[in-house]
Structure 1
Amino acid sequence: MRTTISRKIQNPMEEKIATQTQRKPRQCPPLLIPNIPWLLFPHGNTLKDQTFCCFNNQSFRKSIPELRNREICGSWHGWLILVDNDDFFFLFNLVTFETIPLPQQNTHADYHIKYCVLSSPPTESTSKILLFLTGSHTILFCRPGDKQWTETNYEKDLEILWGFKDVRLYNVGVCSGKVYASGGRSELLLIEFGESNQLVLRPLGLKFVPQKIGNSICFRSFFIESCGELYGVHMAFRTERFEEIKGIEVLRLDSSRMVWEEEQSLKGRAFFLGDDCSTSCPAMPEAGIQEGSIYFTMSKDPRLYCFNLEDQSISDSLPCYNLSTPWASPIWVLPNTRLIDTQPEEKDRVNAEPKEKTHDRKVQEKEVNTWCGSGEAEQSLLLRLPLEVVELVYKHLNAIDYVHFRSSCKILRSAATPLKWRTRLIGSEMQTSTPWFAYFLIDGTTLNVIDPQYNDRYVLKTSEKFWDKQVCCCKDGFLIMSHDMDKGISALNPFTQAIYTIQEQEIASYSYLYLYGFSISCWSPDEDFVFVIILKTLVDEIKVLYLRDGEGWNSITVKDKPNFLPSYSSPIFFNEAFYCLSQQGGIAVIRFEGDNCVWELLTKLEKPCKSVQSCFLVECDGELLSVFVGKFAKWVKVFRLNFAAMAWVRVQDLGKYTLFVSKASSFSTIATAPGLENQIYFPRLSCATQNIVFFSLQTNKFHSLGCEDLEGFYGTKELTNVLRFHNVLRLPLVAAIQIQ
């Protein structure tokens, strides 16, 4: 948090505030349920109004006297830390209306508060308030009841610890009354109080850095207390604009061994991230708080985002749409006035898995066992089917259904001949009729696959873990993958488990650049290829890395970056060249002339639309199309590139074609069934039905399979590790697929 305090000299804070019984309804906060976080938006002239947003999509507009004309510096243990225009600080409890005055800060004339921490509830004797100032090595602290702030400077302490200056503390958090911070080169520190009321910085001998979502220099990091343990959360962004999230990683501090352990589950709880304060609470589905969810907001954005740790998806909502301007960044308020929730994890799991979910699973298992059973009744029914009928059935199955068909019982296994995975399905009846929508779960071995035509779902189990590999792009049924760009590039067929090494040479020297996109001309172990990576340097240059079959990595540097900011989607290989779309609708062409790589910017191309949230480039019927999505997904527009006029031409109808867009791969296909044409499929699922989300150019609306109408992307979730497979796939080995 960055708070600027103006130093007007007015009367000290001596205004009469009505007691709770004398307050008007508008001056009282809504009924705050303990241990359920609320999102508080200060807004209006002088921030006199407050809007409270809860997880059932309700919001309450209030004007609480204690919060008028004051800035909220932090929210800890059910208490707000406030400061007024005269630099007087005080604590305020939204539930009990208790107010505890704190000293005036008049030492630093114009200062910024980066972090403001309350170590424990003010009713405890060890409670302290700490202010961390931006742009200096100063920490101010006091206890409730102190008459003045105590100031300390930690610059020399850090120099003694690590031997260098010009570093500061950041990522401050509290756990069990202890204050933690990271500083220097991401070292974890414990801030303690020594003799004579002095702060002591004690290094803990480990770093607070991401472990598995590297290849990015844009992070937001947070400390969170959950069940008495310290957690760290790293949120990685694709670029320095901090808009597109690449992934989120959760770590837990093992205090006995003093190591960070990666967590793939929140153990029945949910996390709430904020620059002013981060907190956690037990999952409560009936209140809209889902297990394994990480809730957060973005800068200058009124939407609430939710990251699901299991499927790595991001959903968003608009809890406070009609905020009066100006409005300040929201803050989490957890109405827990006296107690800190440190109950065992097993108790927190009470509401994490409703009984209905368990019942549904039992019913599903019963149905599966009935179908896959080897009892005499099932065998006798199958024996009555003529073999030509069995053959008629399995010849019309797609690849995965065919494997499932054979594995269901011995009779079908003998009736349907085994298929060799090396056989290509081009032209066969069993090839997939539409592209498949697939994504890895956090365990790195579970691949969820959805057929958008029938909404059929499959679960594939891979023979090894791929959680540490990044999917660069998809081509010809293969996933082109890298391991943080420092262990080469490989191609994976998730159905056959076949892995081919494209290049073993490290490219780690480029790992601290902003990554915008990957693309490959084609992929087959027997064909030549060209692999391209689009990066941006720290000095506002574009760097193109390219790899040609049989050669090492090469690169070119482009100096005209201010005129071209690449989009987050992968370039398209079109007409023997790579076409890269900018966020403003510009096009750059990367082609190879002999041994040289040439970058050409189509300067005459004008921006087709404004207020763009995301954009994609797609080849369709020999044409180059662009898909633009407006802010908050209020609109979707499609354009065709007219090469002769060098202009984008609006496309109102795709005819018989369907577009599939994502950051990893975008392409088009001819609709294989009525009702699939003239649509654009996005890497999103409906939160209510878990069905794929698409935009219809006929209705000009978003829908999900099942005819559900959607208002933009509200009520949907985006999968950050989504893949798309083209309709030419190789058959998988039977042993490589395990269905849950």
Structure 2
Amino acid sequence: MHSGLPAHVPQARPWLVACYGKQLQDQALFSASENRWYPRTIPDTRNKHIWTSNNGWLVLQDCKSGDCSLLSLVSMKKLQLPKLDYNFTRFCILTSTPPDRYCHVLFFEMSCMLFCKPGDDKYVKQDLILDDNTNIVTATTFEGKVYVLTTAEDAMTILEYAGAAGTPFQVRRVMREGLGMEWTQPGSRSGKTLVESGGELLCVRTICSGIVGEDVSDFEVFRLDFSEMVWVKMDSIGERTIFLSLSEGTSYSKTEANIKGNCIYFTQRGCDSNLYVFDLDDRSILVTWPCPKISKRTWLFRWILLPENETDWLKLSC
């Protein structure tokens, strides 16, 4: 699975897509490099659930029909995918982008996944053997493999493409000491997100508190030491910035745009429509208010990376 952009593609910039309104009919877009909101709708994505993005491609699902597709935000080319019943689907990843032969769409449920290639007429279901009372919580691609974490702190599953069409992924399960994150605060809870960042595989631990455990109060970042296959806690991510939304994340170097390094941009679950920035230097949280056109009951935030010279159409006034 090849995740790098071709050399001729300009450097991408991070944008946050906010989908809101009935059947996700309205959108606004936030440019992290400009620190500015644009009340703009992306063509062909209205009334669509954005499952994930990869190098300018989106995995979409129609909110009414359930039809799925791949959409290129550079060429606006659309590729049809099999229809999906997403009532039991937790999240999705795109392993690479067309026309790469290793391009697969993976939808994860609690203990299994459904996958297909563009042009397939159905999904292949594959169960992942997990510990009792554990569920899949996050996954990402890294150097040609898919890494999956569950609610168990010491379990990681690695998926490798088997080669033949329709053949299930080869599964390798790794058991280690885990992240070593014991709970000390009653009522707190945490989430985990795998992120590829500057040639390293990171796990971002989100610490939540509050009456219902929905308020983000802190973050911890770990990198995977591949020589020992253990997680090592990081005090800083240096020049890089991490962008989190739901169960996925991406990273960016501050030297490539007007973005503060050693920070985590994130959104919260529920009805909170704010964008937040967590500073790993002083552990502070900055609240950035979204575009006034967004109602408080925002249903979906999603970060995407787009080449800078391909985003002029996003900046047009409504």
| Same fold by TM-score greater than 0.5 | yes
State the 1:262 CA deviation. Answer: 1.3
State the 1:88 CA deviation. Answer: 1.7
Distance 1:123 1:82 in 2: 18
Distance 2:16 2:305 in 1: 9
Distance 1:146 1:79 in 2: 18
Match of 1:102 in 2: 81
State the 1:252 CA deviation. Answer: 0.5
Which residue of the other structure, out of 216, 222, 226, is the alignment partner of 2:197?
226
Task: Spell out the pairing of 1:530-679 with structure 2 (5 A cutoff).
Answer: none
State the 1:274 CA deviation. Answer: 1.5
RMSD, aligned CA: 2.5
Please state if 1:167 is matched with 2:108. Answer: no
| Partner amino acid, structure 1, of 2:68 | F
**Partner secondary structure for residue 39 of structure 2:** strand
Match of 1:249 in 2: 220
Distance 1:324 1:309 in 2: 30
Which residue of the other structure, out of 40, 55, 59, is the alignment partner of 2:17?
40
State the 1:60 CA deviation. Answer: 1.5
Distance 1:64 1:192 in 2: 34
State the 1:178 CA deviation. Answer: 1.8
Asked whether the equivalents of residues 45 and 325 of structure 1 are also in contact (C-alpha less than 8 Å), the reply is no
| Partner amino acid, structure 2, of 1:175 | F
Match of 2:91 in 1: 115
Please state if 1:62 is matched with 2:40. Answer: yes
Asked whether the equivalents of residues 224 and 279 of structure 1 are also in contact (C-alpha less than 8 Å), the reply is yes
**Partner secondary structure for residue 13 of structure 2:** coil
**Partner secondary structure for residue 111 of structure 1:** helix
Distance 2:52 2:257 in 1: 28
* Count of paired positions: 292
**Partner secondary structure for residue 238 of structure 2:** coil
Q: Where do 4+ consecutive residues of structure 1 move more than 6 Å?
A: none
Which residue of the other structure, out of 125, 128, 132, is the alignment partner of 1:151?
125
Task: Spell out the pairing of 1:367-446 with structure 2 (5 A cutoff).
Answer: none
Which residue of the other structure, out of 173, 191, 194, is the alignment partner of 2:159?
191
**Partner secondary structure for residue 122 of structure 2:** coil
Distance 1:213 1:176 in 2: 32
- Structure having greater relative contact order (Cα 8 Å, sep ≥ 6): 2
Which residue of the other structure, out of 159, 173, 195, is the alignment partner of 1:203?
173
Match of 1:590 in 2: none
Distance 1:290 1:257 in 2: 32
Match of 1:91 in 2: 70
1:213/1:36 CA distance change after superposition, 3 Å = farther
State the 1:301 CA deviation. Answer: 1.5
Distance 2:82 2:229 in 1: 37
1:43/1:239 CA distance change after superposition, 3 Å = closer
Distance 1:183 1:277 in 2: 14
Distance 1:94 1:270 in 2: 23
| Partner amino acid, structure 1, of 2:170 | V
Compare CA radii of gyration and give the structure with the larger one: 1
Asked whether the equivalents of residues 39 and 293 of structure 2 are also in contact (C-alpha less than 8 Å), the reply is no
1:325/1:79 CA distance change after superposition, 3 Å = same
Asked whether the equivalents of residues 49 and 68 of structure 1 are also in contact (C-alpha less than 8 Å), the reply is yes
Deviations 1:592-631 (A, max 9, x none): xxxxxxxxxxxxxxxxxxxxxxxxxxxxxxxxxxxxxxxx
1:68/1:219 CA distance change after superposition, 3 Å = same
Distance 1:308 1:245 in 2: 13
Higher share of residues assigned strand = 2
Distance 1:118 1:224 in 2: 13
State the 1:96 CA deviation. Answer: 2.3
Q: TM-score, normalised by structure 2?
A: 0.82
Match of 2:305 in 1: 334
| Partner amino acid, structure 1, of 2:148 | A
Q: TM-score, normalised by structure 1?
A: 0.37
Match of 1:592 in 2: none
| Partner amino acid, structure 1, of 2:266 | F
State the 1:207 CA deviation. Answer: 4.8
1:207/1:72 CA distance change after superposition, 3 Å = farther
State the 1:51 CA deviation. Answer: 0.5
Asked whether the equivalents of residues 13 and 257 of structure 2 are also in contact (C-alpha less than 8 Å), the reply is no
| Partner amino acid, structure 1, of 2:94 | L
State the 1:282 CA deviation. Answer: 0.5
